[in-house]
Structure 1
Amino acid sequence: MSRALLLVLLLIIAPAWGTTLTPGDRVYLQLPGESAFDDPFTIDDQGQLRLPEAGLITVAGLSIDEAEQRIRKRLSTIYRNLDELELSIMEHLIRIQVLGYVEQPGMVSLKPGSNIQMAVAEAGGARPGAQLDQFKLIRNSKTQVFNYKQYLDSGDPGQLPAIKSGDTIFVPASPLLGNIEVNFDAASLREGGDADEEQGITIFGELRNPGTFSFKPDMTVVDALMRADGVTRYADVTKIRVITDNIPYQFDLKAYLDTGDASNLPPIKPGTTIFAPIEVEDINTTSRTVYVMGEVKAPGAYESSPGTGFIDVLANAGGPTRFADTTHIKLLSNVNAPLSINLVEYTQDPSQSTLPPIEPGDVIFVPEKIDFNEKSWLKVTNDRAIKIIGAIYNPGRFEWSNSMSFMDLLAHAGGPKQQANLSNIRIIRESAAKNEPRVTFFDFVEFTKAGQPKGKLPQLRAGDTVIVDELPHDPTDNKSSWLRQSARDSIYIFGQVGAPGRYAFNNEQGFLDILSAADGPTGEADIQEVLISHRSGKGTEVTRFNLSNYFETGNESLIPDVAPGDVIYIPQLEKAADERAVKVIGAVNAPGRFKWNDTMTFLDILAMAGGPKQQANISNIRLIKEQQNTPENVIYFDLENFINEGGNFAALPLLDAGDTIVIDELPHDPTDNKASWIRQSADDSIYVFGQVGAPGRYAFNRELGFLDILSAADGPNGDADLRQIRISHRDKSQAQVTKLNLSLYFETGDESLLPVVVPGDVIYVPKEQGNWLDKPAERVVRLMGSVNKPGRYTFNNQMNILDLLAEAGGPSDEAYIERIMIVNTSCCGDQAQTFNLRDYVIDPARYPLPLLRPGDTVYVPNESDSIGEQWRQGLRDVLGLFTLIALGAAL
């Protein structure tokens, strides 16, 4: 296309768009005689045009005339004749950023009127696995979620939001996808380079995509750097190293971009090596350098010019970060004294404060903001810090200002914990005046009750230390934490109370409060003689108090006043009244000593002791009579029988004061006879020995029977002889033994066969001896001869001779199976027959199995009994005789 035709097209289509240039626009720059301007230029996403020789020029947001004037001004230093220079819009595009799960995320250029589908298509389309119903449109930091799938289903353009230049479309991935993706495609391989070292250019260092790239004719160092996607933010562009034909060159990219002097470009050719070093290798200073350090966006050295102010330098460094303490910015100078700048006050009222001028060589230091989570105290000096320790949520050292109060400090430290002693907060002043107390106390509880008047708050200042003591976690925790409790806030209680000790106390509490905190008086306490020692500091005064009288009358005036520092003592009764008590020990829930009177029964005492435990042996409770010195001072009581018979109260044992009730505990496991047999009385035990699952000594009572004790012992095992069980009865005047055929009981179910057993009896289950008489002859078959297991075998009409031989382990190796003899027993006499097992195996159809019935006898002979074997033996004897005769004749 000729240049004239291109101009005509531009004149025709130029009015169709606005006159303001935007990123993505393609413009045509007419400059006759310069071939570098024959092709149109595209405004990049930063709103800049990259022009030959002139570099980058910002034109976005300018009108065509304004942009043309700016370009003309830049090119005037390079080109002499710019009279025919003219800028025109060739194509107006909108720039949309497409991110997420698409084939080619990034910026796309679209024509006006395009929609989201066109933008996604320009990005290569959504990848398989994209979540189509959760597309996002981001505009001015606001996100709009829309259903792209619904648009694809319906084709309704109204389902898609309109797009504008600068929008971002995000395509999310489905949550069903995995967390790891590996993609080896041509594009990813090309990023590492597309040439070898001899024919390409090797580029490495602080570059976005270092590698070895192919060389193109007329390629410059700048082209090679752009092939590697440009330098990173850390590259030192003033000291780029280039080696061509083993000759090193140093290239200053910054100077080249400032001057456009192509003579400074080093030569490159295939095999050239380019290295972009990191910028921190050395320090560059000039006579106009100003340094910015600390919490700024981009700290470093910046060049200043006359008229550059403090705000200009700070803004050039990116401004303070969110971690910066802008109230204490330091300005350091080689000439003047250091200055502290409060930028917050300046921004609130610039007319009331001024910023100092900036001179070359000055240093601006923006310190880090002090956070209460910061543990380093070096960040804040002691003249502007205050310390708070003790029972608060975030104790520590905090920055202090005179505009703050005690409540501000307490709130900043997270407030007091639940166990904090707020009635006695201590404030220690390090720099106290001569007549000023070094330690003061503050009652925060009284302060809150008084309506929180500000005049009662302690006046704090920098350097003070606030201590909030912690109350013991447990009022009885007097051994581990009594040092943390102040003596002036404590009261003492001793004697017959549940938890004697030293307790925190204040004026809001009374005698009953401290008594209940100590778990009250015990059962041995003499509450009629309570002694209270008042230690007010002026003298000691003792008050006697009858607590029993208060309990009977409820007269509050009888209760004495107590204060922190007082001592309460509750003595023990002089006589314990042992003659009016009954003791309960053993397997009860609350064993102990209980007061007794004549109206109480055995069940009353048992209920006061919490009742028997589940593992208690209530069938043999022992009652020891302390008042009887006779051998019958121990009485046995069967509570289980009492309950089963309906509770005849006349059968309850009679108790007297001083008696002792002993309830034994059953073993936790019926088979636990090794560890707990001593705890089990012999009068309540029965003995099981022999072939049972768990022989031993078991608890037993008269409510149980023979089958109960047999099942407790896990029953008879497989070797037990159930017909010969023996029971030794030891409750008689002389030994008596009973025999039991338990097998007969199992066959008949006759309960009268089971013997009566009582505690003390011995049950013995012997081992079965294998009595062959148990199997009658008419129900078995006798097998003899050369078999592996000869004997008597149970036989029925469903079995044959092969079943019998198989059960006996088969014939032995010496068996003569060609002549097995069978003796059949019948009503008319015994009959014998022979059976050739070898013929049956060869031809079962021709040689059937012989009939075999219970009562028959089978004999398998040995091979030595066969006629052939006997003939061979005779032949060997004759040959031996002839041999002897021949030897004799020879001799």
Structure 2
Amino acid sequence: MRDRGIFITALLATAILGGTSGYSQDNLVMNDIAPFVGEDISIEPRLLTVKDVEQELKKKPSFIKSKNDISEEISPLEQMYSARIVADVQQFGYEMFGSKSRPQNSLSRGAAQDNLILSIGDEISVVMRGQKQDSQTTGITSEGMLVIEGLPPIPAAGRMLGDVRAQVKSEVSKLYNTDVFLSLAKISQINVLVLGHVKNPGRQTLTNMDSVLDALMAAGGIDKTGTLRQIRLVRGGKTMLIDLYGLLVYGSDGIDISLRSDDKIIIQPVGPTLAVSGDVKRPGIYEILPALKANWDKPEEKSQKLSMNDLLGLTGGVLSPAAHRFLRMDITDKGTEYIEEVSDPSARIFSDGDILNIVRGKEKREGTVELTGNANQSGIHALADAETLSDLLYDDSVIGPETYPLIGIIEHWNKSSMSKKLTAFMPKTVLNGEDDQKLEDGDKVYLFSQEQIENLGKPDPQALLIEASLGANEPENKTTAIPQNLRQFLIERSVFVRGAVREPGSYPVAEGADLESVLSVAGGASLEGNTRDIEVTSAPTKGSRSERKTYDIASIDPHTIRLTAGDTIRVNQKFRRVEDNHVLLIGEIKNPGTFDLQPGDTLGKLLARAGGITDDAYPDGTIFSRESERKREEMRFKSQAQDLELRLGNMLSQKDEDKKPDPEAITTARQLISQLKQTEALGRITVEADPAMLNSQPQLDILLESGDRIYIPKRPLTVRVAGEVLSPAALQFRSEKKPRDYLNEAGGMSYNADEERAFVVYPDGSAQPLAVSAWNHNAVFVPPGSTIVVPRDPKPLSFIDGAKDISQILANVATAAIFADDIRNDR
């Protein structure tokens, strides 16, 4: 039987040369660097000196790694096993030689232990106290003796520090009333040769306090091509095999042997391996011992055989005590891989190249129910403590704030149909003790918030995500998404509340809901709501038609009026809802401001209420902005922006580079799209605003609507030039001036101007194209208060095939911006 505590096999090897005393340190014969072969290591070697070895190292043989190789690299073994397992797996144990490897030539420090072997050159500090007072430091002589004044020479080299200390105390005890204190003052350095599969092979300078692990750290650690289980320590013609798994797996400290001068450590190629993967605490590739002919009956076997229990011992065991499947993956010499279940955990069937794959069975939770959603005590609950809904929802502290009271859902797994079954209940009646349901093992109870119910009919959160990914704005109200199957279940059980209520909409209900509860979640009847005139239209059922009944809940208890899914409730009005109807009148008005409206109010009446216009007013230039027109104009701008975005996207997706627009054209298109999105809609309509004209021709007096904005400017003496000119300005009006004159006074047209599409906007809002060509002799008259607009040349955007008229879009944007500034600046 193997002893797990000690993983050292001491093999006595005969000396290659009968007498090595004639060889100096430089001529030391290195006869034992040959690979380990079977049980017999006494082979006929080729004689090598240290100098020979150093020359060979410079040649970098194939089994020696370069200094740039690091242990984190994927080794061929890891690649092979990972490909077979289809998961990453690493060689076990090599991480100990990672980034924390000891730098070369760094010496050990710390207090010397009693088991330290002293050697020639060590210095000992000796302090005597008592009748004899003395303090001295003496070295171990070349003869291996410790010479202390007043004491006979004491043999020290090759002995443990504790033994030497005991002998010195014994000698000092012969002196009267004297104590002695002995410690190691200086430790001599030793040279250890580390060869084979290490990162920095060669001679390492260490001390007697260092161990085999220290030497391996100084050499940069063992490569993944080197063995951890058959490390050869050669000392004085004898060889010991060191197995690091004793330390790594079982924590044995007996394997880390102290070094002596001229020790040699040889790291042979990695031996047979196998892998353990899956649900274990320490999956990895493990090295196993080779099969020795003296110990195994079958000479064709190249490695020891281990059982499943042996492998679990290496990995620390399975992750959980649940049921597992244990699969053995075996590959033949022909490359065929077989998989079989392991039935006998103690059978020794695993050998070189095998894989043990451990698959954990899915744990099944029993004896529980789960409360989820808008609840303060969400999570798993023991079924023994929550056998019914009333046990689970025992008071208001269990549910979350603003929990929707009219429906919750119990999700139950139906074993016979192997499907989920959803059952509705009313949290309100459960908390009031009016209703209860029995819960079963594995049930999941959902509670919903008021906000979730409000957003129930809105687009699915997944659709919102897709919309957001396409550049749309994210929704302002982000709520926890309801699973799709539950959403549909809730929508199917909705009742609809309309009319004079504060929050009309659809509200899902469970069986037993009444009119009072539904009206409460809808915020109750509004001020104008008539509780004596509430219509309830029942949904049609099989064999019966829809019915409509009117209820007076002032005389009938609304708790007695039961509702079912699909019913519609309408609260009629007892008077018309009070609305804030007003208009804004600004500019050259004697009493400007906001005025309320009554049905039939006109612009003429409004001007009279405001005290009329001032003497400087210019009614022909009135800007009349109507809310309904503003909304239509705003929608038109958005539609144009979306159309341009779509066309631009199609052009950018072209595979033919020649058809793609240049970067300058793309920038221009994006600027126009941004302008369209940000432009404030004006919604201007042409009206007659002169009070004298309205009195004489009342048919021209326009009826006002709520939201109208009227701006009457001061009588102008200028003509404004805007758009693509070098110096936009308001220029002095003169009757003899032509449009070209005003454009010249504004510095002329810019490089991006569209001269052929220039137009004039008259004071009343009407517009007419300008003919500014030098050949035109019938120039348009431009009255004071007009605005000449030179739009941007649409040629850079001509690549957008199929888009709407770019010229019209550019003109609309320019005009809207100009007159919106007029109104904004006068407020």
Normalised TM-score (structure 2): 0.32
Q: TM-score by structure 1 length?
A: 0.30
Select the structure of larger CA radius of gyration.
Answer: 1
Structure of greater relative contact order (alpha carbons < 8 Å, 6+ residues apart): 2
